[in-house]
């Protein structure tokens, strides 16, 4: 969404508001017509906040502040719509607003406001992400950390979230995946079987210690079956 800052080219001292009218098809937005012919969009919150009225004189700095607030409000409203589908990290939200054409200052202001109302919360987002992943296909802590970081979550927050996925539980998930792989590759020679299962586990983000643990468990289970 392009900003209206381009309207403010040139040095301006004082301008007078001639009249205000609702902006067509933009609920809550108004157009201020100034005595020099310029038309400035502002949100109704700005009108109430600064007690704007016709015949009022305003400074150039005030106009720029109103435009910033109008753009921020617009970005904020679009962000709420974007959040209706699912939770987002701060980076995901900022990237979305960049695609919508908002400038950096507006994006940061909107993101700060969203965080202030807890609509954006990277720590909560990361914790929910880990819980969702644990209930889905088996995945290692390393892979989860990498995915969180790819979504803009900081290293510190990602590591804290992964603490909610204990190593013992990770090993249980890895063994569950290993047993599924064992059924798929059971007719392969022993060495090829180990390679196939190991690579599958590593692709899902399990570290080598966990992979070795799973391979050892599978081997012990096979030996027990052979003895029975």
Alpha-carbon dihedral sign for residues 149, 153, 156, 157: negative
Domains and CATH numbers, the chain: 5-116 (1.10.10.10), 123-162 (no CATH), 167-227 (1.10.10)
Tens of pLDDT, residues 142-190: 999 999 999 999 999 999 999 999 999 999 999 999 999 999 998 999 9
Give residue 228's pLDDT: 65
* pTM: predicted TM-score of the whole model, two decimal places: 0.77
Q: Could you tell me which residues come within 8 angstroms of residue 213 by beta carbon, excluding any fewer than 6 positions away?
A: 171, 174, 175
Confidence of residue 13 (pLDDT cuts 50, 70, 90): low
Confidence of residue 25 (pLDDT cuts 50, 70, 90): confident
- Rounded Cα distance, 44 and 119, in Å: 22
- Could you give the angle at which helices 208-227 and 190-203 cross, rounded to 10 degrees? 140
Q: Are 66 and 51 in contact (CB under 8 A)?
A: no
Tens of pLDDT, residues 80-107: 999 999 999 999 999 999 999 999 999 9
The CA radius of gyration of the chain, in Å to the nearest whole number, is 28
pLDDT at 47 over 60: yes
Q: Are 214 and 178 in contact (CB under 8 A)?
A: yes
Give residue 201's pLDDT: 97
H/E segment holding residue 159: helix 155-162
Give residue 12's pLDDT: 47
Tens of pLDDT, residues 118-142: 999 999 999 999 999 988 889 999 9
Tens of pLDDT, residues 191-211: 999 999 999 999 999 999 999
pLDDT at 213 over 80: yes
Average pLDDT over every residue of 212-218: 95
Give residue 149's pLDDT: 97
């Amino acid at each position: 969404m392009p900003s209206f800052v381009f309207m403010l080219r040139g040095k301006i001292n004082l301008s007078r508001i001639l009249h205000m009218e609702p902006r067509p098809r933009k609920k809550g937005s108004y157009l201020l017509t100034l005595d020099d012919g310029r038309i400035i969009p502002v949100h109704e919150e700005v009108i109430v906040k600064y007690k704007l009225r016709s015949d009022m004189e305003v400074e150039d700095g005030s106009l720029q502040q109103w435009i910033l607030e109008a753009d921020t409000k617009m970005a904020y409203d679009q962000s709420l719509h974007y959040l209706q589908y699912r939770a987002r990290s701060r980076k995901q939200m900022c990237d979305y607003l960049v695609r919508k054409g908002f400038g950096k200052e507006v994006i940061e202001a909107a993101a700060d406001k969203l965080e202030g109302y807890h609509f954006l919360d990277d720590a909560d987002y990361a914790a929910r992400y880990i819980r969702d992943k644990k209930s889905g296909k088996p995945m290692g802590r390393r892979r989860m950390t990498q995915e969180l970081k790819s979504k803009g979550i900081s290293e510190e927050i990602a590591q804290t979230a992964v603490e909610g996925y204990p190593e013992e539980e990770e090993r249980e998930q890895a063994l569950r995946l290993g047993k599924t792989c064992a059924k798929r590759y059971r007719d392969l020679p022993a060495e090829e079987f180990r390679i196939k299962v190991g690579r599958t586990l590593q692709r899902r983000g399990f570290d080598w210690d966990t992979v070795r643990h799973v391979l050892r468990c599978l081997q012990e289970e096979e030996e027990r079956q052979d003895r029975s």
